[in-house]
Amino acid sequence: MSKFATYETTLRDPQHLVAALVAMGYEHVECSAEPQALYGYEGRERPEKAEVIIRRQHVGPASNDIGFAKNPDGTYRAIISEYDRGRHGDTWLGKLKQEYSISKTMAAGRRRGLVFSGRETIGTEVKLHFLER
Amino acid sequence: MKQINVTIGADGEVSIDLSGYKGKGCDKVLSDFLGDDKPTRVETKREYHQAAETAKEVQKQ
């Protein structure tokens, strides 16, 4: 073996962020270059804005919009209301990062022209295998 | 055959295991997979050093 490395995923690419949300079952995800208003469960505009949004009707009953707002350093932070954190808390955000990493890894493999040789799920871990000729 | 095995944890932590690469050839591959993310840990495996030593031996001759 030549090298082994670990890293923490940061949500930085909106394309992979949207792909991750779609993989988690959110088929209607808005993505804009400019931040858009978020709305609460009663339809009232909230003070927060975000570039990537799941509208409340696609989040769940009595939910608020979930947004991902771009930080000055280019990363995205999740904007999730207190009410929605019950179902969209740390575990949900971890799963989102996992799906984001899968999308990012598959894209890196395609860019390098690697042969994708398989995917395994072992417990909560996902393993992706590539070959380079 | 060069192999890249990527393990992605439930919290999004990623481990990349590169094998079959010699010398600094795997640095570019690692960089492509990391993108803008910074590694928290990098271990260089034995065959990396073996290739560097072989290159030094060839240069001496």
Q: Walk along chain A (133 residues) in steps of 10 and give the mean pLDDT of each run.
A: 83 97 95 96 93 94 92 96 91 96 97 96 97 90
Residue B60 C-alpha, separation from nearest chain A C-alpha, in angstroms:
24
* Strands (E) located in chain A: 3-8, 30-39, 45-54, 66-70, 76-79, 115-122, 125-132
* B24 to chain A: closest CA residue: A2
Of A2, A60, A5, the closest CA to residue B21 belongs to A2
**pLDDT recorded at residue B52:** 55
Q: Would you say residue B5 has pLDDT above 50?
A: yes
Q: What residues form DSSP beta bridges with B4?
A: A130, B18
Helices (H), chain B: 25-34, 46-60
Of residues A99 and B59, more confidently modeled: A99
**pLDDT recorded at residue B57:** 63
B21-26 average pLDDT score? 78
Average pLDDT, chain B: 82
What does the alpha-carbon distance between residue B43 and residue A91 come to, in Å, rounded to a whole number? 29
* B21 to chain A: closest CA residue: A2
What does the alpha-carbon distance between residue A76 and residue A52 come to, in Å, rounded to a whole number? 9
A120 Cβ under 8 Å from any chain B Cβ: no
- Where do the domains of chain A lie? 14-131
Token pair recorded at residue A82: 């207190």
Q: Are A111 and B12 in contact (CB under 8 A)?
A: no
Distance, C-alpha A72 to centroid of its chain = 18
**pLDDT recorded at residue B51:** 54
Residue A105 C-alpha, separation from nearest chain B C-alpha, in angstroms:
6
**pLDDT recorded at residue B50:** 58
Q: What residues form DSSP beta bridges with A125?
A: A122
Q: What is the ipTM of this complex?
A: 0.88
What does the alpha-carbon distance between residue A24 and residue A61 come to, in Å, rounded to a whole number? 18
Q: Are A10 and B14 in contact (CB under 8 A)?
A: no
Q: Are A94 and A73 in contact (CB under 8 A)?
A: no
**pLDDT recorded at residue A61:** 82
φ, ψ dihedrals at B21, nearest 5°: -90, 145
